[in-house]
Structure 1
Amino acid sequence: MGMSDLTVGGIYIAATVIALYTGGVLWRHREKTAALPLSIAGFSSAVWSFGLFITTLPWGSVALSGITVVYIGVAVGLAAVFVFALEYTGRERYVTPTLLGLLSIHPIFLLGFVIFNPGDLFFIGLDPAAPIGVDQQWGPAFWLHSTYAYLLVLVTSLLIVERLVRTNRALYKGQAILLAAGLFAPLPMNAVFISGVISFDTTPLGFVIMCSLFAVAIIKYRFVDLSPIAREKVIDSVRDGMVVVDTDDRIIDINPAAERMMNIETSVLGASVSEVLNLSESVAAYEELTATTDTSELTVELGDVYYAIESTPIFDGRDRHVGWLFLLQDVTEQKRRERELEQQIEKLDEFASLVSHDLRSPINVANGYIEQTRITGDLDNLNEIERATERMEEIIDDVLELAREGQAVTEPEAVSVDTIAREAWDHTEANGASLSVDGDTKIVADPDRLTRLFENLFRNSVEHGTETKGDDSTPESLAITVGTADETSTKSTLYVADDGVGIPTNRTECSKTATRPTPTGRGWVSQSSNRSPTHTAGPSR
């Protein structure tokens, strides 16, 4: 073997080692999208280069066997790079047994022609005694094979370039450029050889360039970690925040809306999710959403903001789970409306409770007179029953008006507390209790609402004032007093007191307040619940 053989043989061995190493790195990540066929292409390049090294050996028969090894690498490598291009560009659905069968036709015929060379169609002659390697004189079958090979490599490169044009992410652009350039690099090197410009096969030099570019794609552009997952297909249909995460919990895509929601100012592509999520609530939500490969939804509260997050598993064309798509929607306004609705429902419940409370007095009065009528047959009781039903109708009309117009008193008038109190007492089932009014205070109020106010307070006194006084106390001993307190020049507080046992603080239901006329002669009556009452059951202090 001359010096030239040593030099060329060293180039071939170096190319073999580099291609083997690159194929091995890709093989370790073969579960990633497009990594397996690219790994096979790397190994095929190593076989091709090693076969060329064999052709430089000084033993004729051994050198000739190297030709067969070369074309084994050629046959497998061409099919592998085409399959890689389909998977990398999101066309995995085309990688079917039928397509693989069609791609295998060329390697079978190629190896058949190389090994048997029928009619000298592939090789017109082979000379192992050439200065460098084995001199090959090609027949028509070789040129047919070369045309097919060049077209397949060109189609492969165009597929990757097409992806390069479609993507708008710098990370994927870098990947696509390096991969397309790497796959194309052996082509001109091979063309230089078969055109006769150089006497030895320079294709392995293209393999060295190819593997170097693949190395940059792997290290700098994280090819094995960040293979594209059909970004365009999901981004076009998403108007809210979108984040794509792979199975290694690395962010491989994020749209501007998600970056704003997550307060991200710098690129996080390739970063771990744990590095980006700095709130425990966010981490817990991510772990819950990725616990299974099922679609799931979750609403997360982050400070004053609420996010509805939908997690959808992503599968490639071979039904392999490759990551998750997270859709983020700011639902803070929706949550605010829900809280307002809940408050309105609570108010409606309170309103219904008050209505029920107000109707109870006239209903009890009517029931009492009905029972007396049944016992005594005194039809005069019907007048009292009629008054009670009229009072219920008034309350119902008042409630309907409140429901339509709200609770504000718009037309108060001067009324006598004594008159209103005694009218309310007539609508109350007293059960033997007595009423006294301390003075005849004049106030400005809505007479109907003030009447209902007194009815409720009187009933509370009657119902609760004698519950647990003991055996020495009877209903007849309960005395209820209406009076005023805390008088000033502009207002005073009305109170209803009794000498009963009182209402426990945890059962206080409502509070009613009325004001004395202001110097301008106007005032108001307000209704409230669950506040400190101006009506107090129990001994007056």
Structure 2
Amino acid sequence: MELQWNPYTVPLALAMLLGIVVTVYAFHEADDRMDVWGALTQSSYVLWCLFTLLTVSSVGLAWKEFWFALFMPSILFMILTAFGFTLHFVGRGEWLTRPRIAVLGLLPVAFLLVSLTNGVHGWMLVDVGLDRSGSFTLLTYDWGIGVFAMAAIAYAIVLVYNGLLLQRVLRSRNVYRKMSAVVFFSTALPAVLAFLSLTRLSPFPHFMLVPFSYLLTGVLVLFGTTSVKFVRAIPVDRFLSVFDSRFDSAVPLARDFVVEEIDSGVMVLDSDDRVVDVNSMAKKMLGLDRPIGKHLSDITQPERIVDGETEPRILRDDEELHEADYEIWVETANGTRCYEVRVSRLSGSEGETVAHVVLLHDITKQKRREEQLEQQTEELRAQKQQLEYQNERLDRFAGIVSHDLRNPLNVTDGYLEIMEAKTDEETGVVEVDDDKIAEMRNATSRMENIIEDALTLAREGKALTETEPVDLAEVAEAAWDNVDTGEATLSVDLDLTADGDRGRLLNVFENLYRNAVEHGSTGNQNASRSDDAVEHGSTSNRTSSDDAIEHGREGVSIRVEPLGTGDGFAVADDGPGIPDDRKDSVLESGYTTSDDGTGLGLAIVRDVVRAHGWTIDVADSDAGGARFEIGDVTSGVAVTPTAE
């Protein structure tokens, strides 16, 4: 193929190079269908420039006819791709179903076949020849009926999508209006210039005005899609205000300035839930780059929502949304932020929904302050509970000192008076009764036990400050060695670890064991339950009056086993058990039915268990004895004791 140099070579080559750059960039940045259609539109300009360049650069008639035959359908290809891009841009992309795309795609293919076979029927070009009068050879021709048919179809489509774009320009605001104006200008100008070429009003041959104009429109498209600053500089509002006072720029510009400068995010969605306007703060808050024209479902990022609704309420199909107000926690580059989302419906003249306005307000600081206030309130409440609990324990301690200690003191004092009365005044010798000495020893031992139990109760009533993983089976066995158990036996069938205070948990098992040993007996497990089946325990190692053998209750069997729920354990014995009407009372401080009991042992157990955030219940064992069930061991949270 012989080629020639002409004045059109450089401009056409530059236009084609610019088209390649824009096309490559468009395909590289494409992340949805609208971007793909836009890239295809730019590629059609490349084909237009290429075939025009080859037509004017070739010399022979056959080659010129061939390249011009390929050029003619590229006009229709450009119009159809611009049509597809526009439908997506204005939010009507759902109209482009696959069958419709296939039908539209057949149009350029059909005209390509007609154009390539023009030598047979002459529908596209007639009177084809060469003009060699100038410094270079030009192709000459007249239009056939096929060109006018193609032009009618093409301009019908052009009027449709330019009408949609113009409507979008007039109805949009801010940056989106200016972007719409750029797109409208970029599509309307080639249509006008092509019409001039079609009517032979152009000073240049072969629809060459369009490639030349692309040197301007291509730059507009490139900068209009990559630079928001460039788009903002376009004076669309002032231009429109010249034609109609409705487009006066003073109020819109002032409102745009306010919307851009406020510290809340603003986003406007059309009736198809596509973003038609958004301020900079909303893009920053949501981490969006170029949301204009995109559907709401395409810009939402559920994976970034830490807490709250992951699906926007607007997209729900159950009912039409009028108003909404809710909060979401979102993971951002600046950490986790809490946004208050307010959605308002904008209605048309007939009450139909025409748009939704979404307001985003960052309330993270407010939420943090609320959390701090709640934490401080909780700390104050815990301190108040602790003080009330301590006061209650002081009252209880005072009651123990004033009441429980008074009895053994009175016993000792009485026997001392008797001994003083029997003292010989001359010799100072007194007759000592061994039984009275034993009673006095028991009284002093009981006072010692009361003091120890009272101190333990006060000590165990404090809130837990430090915990550690504790092997409950190991603690249960260790506690057994700390208690005088006589002939009693222990069986531990437990595999459970929980966070707790090991020292306090030792007291739990020690008091439960002592209660079972002191009140349980294999010799009376078939007898009726009596008042002796409640505790008087302590944490000391008692070997005198509290001796289980002395009370005749040796041989009790104690078993530590897991609860059926797997979230706790039970300490059960085969003694006489506890009557049903007293199961709720035995855990109360001071409750005892024994003359020498303090009534504090099981109260200590209860307080330690509750301080760990666990639960304790009294039940019957399978053998008919007492069973203390401690639950919520793995799920409980340490709490501040409260006064009862």
TM band (smaller chain): 0.3 to 0.5
TM-score, normalization: structure 2?
0.41
